[in-house]
Chain A
Amino acid sequence: MGMIEIISLSKWFGDFQVLKDITDTVERGEVLVICGPSGSGKSTLIRCINRLEEYQQGKILIEGLDIHGRDVDVNELRTHIGIVFQQFNLYPHLTVLKNITLAPVKVKGVPKAGAERLALELLERVGIHDQARKYPAELSGGQQQRVAIARALAMKPKVMLFDEPTSALDPEMINEVLNVMKDLARDGMTMLCVTHEMGFAREVADRVIFMDGGIILEEAPPEEFFSKPKHERAQAFLREIL
């Protein structure tokens, strides 16, 4: 049984079909990189997994459980699936520490002291424990994204979704975020990353998926995908970004 099973998933925005009959299985501990041109449906696909997007056809199972099952509580489901966004989406009115402790305290009922201890540990892990009392706007983009990762990890998720986590960053800050992600991957986290960071994919991905027009065009281990992509459009895409 895979950690995440996506079965014949289709989704429409009005008349436009963004996802066309997608089927894929992600194993526990697997690091999957999803790439493809913009509008190919890759972000939509991972956002379906924690139900930030609804889909019209098909199924998604997490550890064998249909995420649209009748007795599934969507809020409970989301506590198991961390998500990191392109635009960080930190809460600007709360300190870094409060950004991280909000969900553990309010959703899981973790006592405040325990949540803060965990938050400081996570900040240490992402390398910015000295910024806990600051507000998001006082941090650089790279630091903000690392806080966002810590915020997601604070719920102790089984899966982490990354939706273009480095696309909004200045070039010199990309690596500090990728390093945190690599660290997480080596720790055995199941990760789905929509990213164009091919260095990251080469280093830690178990598998690369190339999407275009709402379908998975190509799927291969990173070495194979980068050295000899089979599909013409994947070749064109790689020429474009490398």
Chain B
Amino acid sequence: MHWNVIANNLTYLLVGAYPHGELGGLAMTILMALGGIFGAFWLGLVFGLMRLSKKRWLYLPALAYIEIIRGTPLLMLIFWFYFLAPVLWGRSLPGHQSALISLIIFTSAYIAEIVRAGVLGLPKGQMEAARGTGLSRMRAMRHVILPQALFNMVPSFVNQFVSLTKDTSLAFIIGVNELTKAATQVNNRTMVAPTEIFITIALLYFVICYVLTAFSRRLEKKIMRYQARQR
């Protein structure tokens, strides 16, 4: 075994050429995951609420968006965006930005459906009670429905966020220097330790996803206590 290859290239795997060159490796993976989670949450929330609207001009575009995105492979979306961006913006976006946007768009469609299911899952009486006191639909959503529904959605969100984190590896295909790309680079350069290298990055992916799921488990316990209190 050639574990010394890992030791010699560990910095590169973790942060790329940083601080003397560009940031890459695990750090890039984590940054893309965090940016993706943040962006997908808000965009998904917007589309989910649009989808729930009774107004056609709101829910039809949301429905089309969700259906089209969910029917498209993420990899194709990444390609698409990478080659479409220069046409749309007149200049090409850096690979990591273009991949991040694709990840956000892709995941937001799933988040939107989670939001929709979560809101519909609440008893109808909650909305009626809120509207009955004169709150507008928007305010009822903001103060009564979403605080309850989002809380119940946490496990589904985390599920989606774990997927997103692992899917950052697809950015490799358009040359983004994230963890998978860094690993293949090290592998191509050293030639002798593919097993060690890919075991190492599998472990690294596992660790960040495990952190997410551990966080989710703690939240779920909290939610269960909260729901128990409601009975």
A-side residues, CB < 8 A to B, are 50, 52, 75-79, 82-83, 85, 87, 89-93, 102-103, 106-108, 135-138, 148, 151-152, 154-155
Complex contact A91–B229 (CB within 8 A): no
Which of B128, B147, B229, B231 interacts with A52 by CB under 8 Å?
B128
Given A91-B144, A93-B151, are A107 and B128 neighbors across the interface (CB < 8 Å)?
A: no
B56 on the A face (CB < 8 A): no
Complex contact B139–A106 (CB within 8 A): yes
Complex contact A92–B143 (CB within 8 A): no
Complex contact B148–A102 (CB within 8 A): no
User: Which B residue's beta carbon lies closest to that of A137?
Assistant: B230
Which of A137, A138, A151 interacts with B133 by CB under 8 Å?
A151
B97 on the A face (CB < 8 A): no
Which of B126, B133, B147, B229 interacts with A103 by CB under 8 Å?
B133
Complex contact A89–B129 (CB within 8 A): yes
Which of A83, A90, A106 has most B Cβ within 10 Å?
A106
Which of B131, B132, B139, B144 has most A Cβ within 10 Å?
B132
B-side residues, CB < 8 A to A, are 123, 125-126, 128-136, 139, 143-144, 147-148, 151, 229-231
Complex contact A102–B143 (CB within 8 A): yes
Q: In whole Å, how far is B97's beta carbon from the nearest beta carbon of chain A?
A: 38
Extra contacts besides A89-B125, A93-B148, A102-B130 (18): CB < 8 Å: A75-B131, A75-B135, A76-B134, A77-B134, A83-B132, A87-B125, A91-B126, A91-B148, A93-B147, A102-B135, A102-B143, A103-B135, A107-B134, A107-B135, A107-B139, A138-B229, A148-B129, A155-B134
Given A91-B144, A137-B229, A138-B229, are A103 and B134 neighbors across the interface (CB < 8 Å)?
A: yes
CA distance A174 to B131 in the complex (A): 26
User: Which B residue's beta carbon lies closest to that of A136?
Assistant: B230
Complex contact A106–B143 (CB within 8 A): yes
Q: In whole Å, how far is A193's beta carbon from the nearest beta carbon of chain B?
A: 16
Q: In whole Å, how far is A208's beta carbon from the nearest beta carbon of chain B?
A: 25
Complex contact A85–B230 (CB within 8 A): no
Q: In whole Å, how far is A78's beta carbon from the nearest beta carbon of chain B?
A: 4
B residues less than 8 Å from A92 (CB atoms) = 148, 230
A residues less than 8 Å from B139 (CB atoms) = 106-107
Given A93-B148, A106-B143, A135-B229, are A75 and B128 neighbors across the interface (CB < 8 Å)?
A: no
A residues less than 8 Å from B229 (CB atoms) = 135, 137-138
B residues less than 8 Å from A154 (CB atoms) = 133
Which of B128, B148, B230, B231 interacts with A89 by CB under 8 Å?
B128
